[in-house]
Structure 1
Amino acid sequence: RDIILEGLDQIEKQIQDGKFEWRKDREDVHMNIEAALIEKVGEPAKKLHTARSRNDQIVTDLRLWCRDAIDKILIRIKQFQVSLVLLASKYVDLIVPGYTHLQRAQPVLLPHLLLSYVEQLERDAGRLIDCRERVNFCPLGACALAGTGLPIDRFKTAKDLKFTAPMKNSIDAVSDRDFVLEFLAANSIAAIHLSRIGEEWVLWASEEFGFLTPSDSVSTGSSIMPQKKNPDPMELVRGKSARVVGDLMTVLVLCKGLPQAYNRDLQEDKEPLFDSVKAILGMLEVCSEFSQNISFNSKRIQSSLPAGYLDATTLADYLVKKVNTTLLSLN
């Protein structure tokens, strides 16, 4: 045991230093490390694979990776929420037109609108937290699909890897990727929320609205039109949402016809998963950066308020109250 652990520590340092040689003829990460360990420490390294299959190793790695990725996304969500709250605090009394059907509806405070995004992001975070709970069960010891007859302690390995518990059914442990689907679905919903924010801010930055001005640091010009100031970051956020939704669709279709237990098709779950996480992290970072570098044009917004009969509902409510008061006085 001690010889194996010492050898693995040396390999880990080589990987961290970028000095480890990854060989394609060794097929995957597990066989690369196992072969390198045999070269380093000899015969004891051949015991490394005892009571393990690549099937349970791969899905254990994937659950660990998802767990870490969820934690990173949750941090980015919180950062964007804080940015929105700080932005709202700068415009406490600013009244803006509220829209339904993209038609002027009722006046609302700008902070009320900005905090609606915060609430949506909070639910996005909640979905990821719920997903993390189901991710956090340990498949290790399920082996290929039927477990092992060797006397291993699955509860100890689960505890050491900070999982809640080992998975109950070895076939289920290696064959299902519903935790990936749930993660991708949560990312997709978050991406849609970010895309909606992007759409609104792109509209507000247009000359037709003129409610919002991005700073030069978060906008781009045109190759031929010197007057242009495009809110490109939020357009890219809007565009990336399609990619995140596509990643979910890819894995849904991948899993739809798989018999129990492990099937090699499942190696195709990695690219869309990694892509989804990379995209959503980037989208959240861009949204935070953009929100910290915009200003709302109070004068333009205030001058727009008289148009569209924004106070019609309030006036109707007033008239109803007045009629009721009159009727009560007559009675």
Structure 2
Amino acid sequence: MSVADVYKEFPETMWSVFGDSVETLRNKDREPNQNRWSTDADFDSGFAESIAFDKNLYKYVILGCKTNVDKIMNGGAISACDRDKIVHCLESIEGDIETGKFEWKYCADVYTNIVEALADKLGDIPKDLVITNRYDICLVILEMWCKSYIDQITTQIKQLQVALVLFALRIDCLVHHRCRQRPNNTLLESLVLPNLKKLEHDASDLRAFLGFIYSSSDGVIDLRNRFPEDFSLSKRSTIAEFARSINYCIHDHLVQLLNKFATSIKLISIRPHGEVVEYWDMLQKITIGEQMREREHRHLALSKCLNIGVGELPKDCEIQDAKYHLFSSVKVVMEMINLSIQCVENMSIDLKKIQIHHPRRYDVVMGFAHFLTSKGIALETAYAVVHLCLEKRCQPSKLTLEELAHIDFPCERAHVLLDDKESVFGKFTCQDLDSCMKLIKWCCKLGISPETIFERYIIYF
């Protein structure tokens, strides 16, 4: 297994469509672009006005201003010093808003309020920073909001994935009590790995949406040269797909995860914000409350407000339904992810329902990976060595220099680090090598340090 091979079993992302990493896309987003702001007037006028005048969205106006200031500077219209002054003033305005010191002008939208306050502090400001078209202001706010929350949610999903992997290491080979007679009946195979894959699909989708938004700085991405069919994707339709992912895919996957773990393992009470809350009470509050009803109605309301053409729409779609489908639903999902992390981290095992299977000896596997990283070997390479040994069912000392070079192992150090490792993994009597290798790949992908695993979880083996 080379380092590149680590990702072969993981869900495909849309990066092949763009050929760019997230950081590359962000750098492009800072580059000057004469068509930075779309003149697309396809938003519902009432929706655009509601967004533009919503003071709660001031953070995304400020983020939009900062992004455009970077473009103006990179285009040579202002100096880096002037750019820093503008950014500092924007941060000062943000502080005033948060402390209630900012004086809002009643007849002006949020963007105009902030830009005029900036002009009051600095005098003349770059004309390219001024946006008067309400539809453009709406697009700026929604774009920055999407970018911000996609970053936050993908980070949360990774934290949940890490919690699941550490949980799998902690429980080792406990058997799922409801499927003892089935193949792959351990909690790792029946609960952890399936949920890791679902979450990775969700994160891949979010990264794809982020890529679409960064790559469509003129409002529309033309993908006809990349796909056989005539296909283009606007920022408005990307925003709608992000909302659908939040309200349907990610939300439903989290509900399934929580319910499956709750029916398989005894959960202890969790303590969000210092209060003792029973798991079932909190789950019911999040998943069955008023905020989770009428999802389809709200999705259609958003589609109507974005004018993306989804056929016949109900006449009673409301702007507040559309805004809920975006803003409030995202907060619910983030709360659900946090709840999932707390539940996974605070589980206790009910030995009446589950039994111990033959051990996989993760202590030996992670101990050797920890030994390699402690000697300066890169985390990915250390995991690749362990994976290769498990795959070939051989000891580290038996790996060839060609195999080591393939996984970026420093061959000049092979004699010192590996030659005396002739019985690291016993006789490989474990029947679950495939599951063990899958978990090793997840540890590598998520960047979980062998040292962290070894120090925190070896006591359970």
Q: TM-score, normalised by structure 1?
A: 0.62
Matched, 1:178 2:232: no
Partner of 2:155: 75
Task: Specify the SS of the correspondent of 2:172.
Answer: coil
Cα distance change on mapping 1:63 and 1:109 into 2, 3 Å: same
CA apart distance, 1:292: 0.6
Do 1:76 and 1:284's aligned partners in 2 also have CA atoms closer than 8 Å?
Answer: yes
CA apart distance, 1:135: 1.6
Partner of 1:238: 287
**Whole-angstrom CA distance in 1 between matches of 2:259 and 2:200:** 20
Q: Write the deviation string for residues 252-291 of structure 1: whole angstroms up to 9, x where unpaired.
A: 35446879xxxxx989754431212211111111100111
Alignment RMSD? 3.9
**Whole-angstrom CA distance in 2 between matches of 1:33 and 1:252:** 29
Task: Specify the SS of the correspondent of 1:90.
Answer: helix
Partner of 2:91: 12
**Whole-angstrom CA distance in 2 between matches of 1:190 and 1:129:** 13
| Contiguous gaps of at least 5 residues in structure 1 | 143-165, 205-210, 222-228, 260-264, 304-331
Partner of 1:213: 267
Task: Specify the SS of the correspondent of 1:136.
Answer: helix
Matched, 1:111 2:171: no
Task: Specify the SS of the correspondent of 2:93.
Answer: helix
**Whole-angstrom CA distance in 1 between matches of 2:294 and 2:215:** 25
Aligned partner of 2:257: which letter?
I
**Whole-angstrom CA distance in 2 between matches of 1:298 and 1:109:** 14
CA apart distance, 1:28: 1.7
Matched, 1:283 2:362: no
Question: Which of 242, 246, 250 is 1:190 aligned to?
Answer: 250
The structure richer in strand per residue is 1
Partner of 1:150: none
Q: Write the deviation string for residues 146-205 of structure 1: whole angstroms up to 9, x where unpaired.
A: xxxxxxxxxxxxxxxxxxxx867xxxx9x862111111122220110111122223434x
Cα distance change on mapping 1:249 and 1:280 into 2, 3 Å: farther
Do 1:198 and 1:235's aligned partners in 2 also have CA atoms closer than 8 Å?
Answer: no
CA apart distance, 1:16: 2.6
Do 1:234 and 1:287's aligned partners in 2 also have CA atoms closer than 8 Å?
Answer: no
Task: Specify the SS of the correspondent of 2:177.
Answer: strand
Cα distance change on mapping 1:53 and 1:177 into 2, 3 Å: same
Greater mean deviation of Cα atoms: 74-83 or 268-277: 268-277
CA apart distance, 1:23: 1.5
State which structure, 1 or 2, has the greater radius of gyration over its C-alpha atoms: 1
Partner of 1:325: none
**Whole-angstrom CA distance in 2 between matches of 1:94 and 1:300:** 10
**Whole-angstrom CA distance in 2 between matches of 1:213 and 1:268:** 35
Cα distance change on mapping 1:11 and 1:238 into 2, 3 Å: closer
Do 2:237 and 2:308's aligned partners in 1 also have CA atoms closer than 8 Å?
Answer: no
Give the length in aligned residue pairs: 252
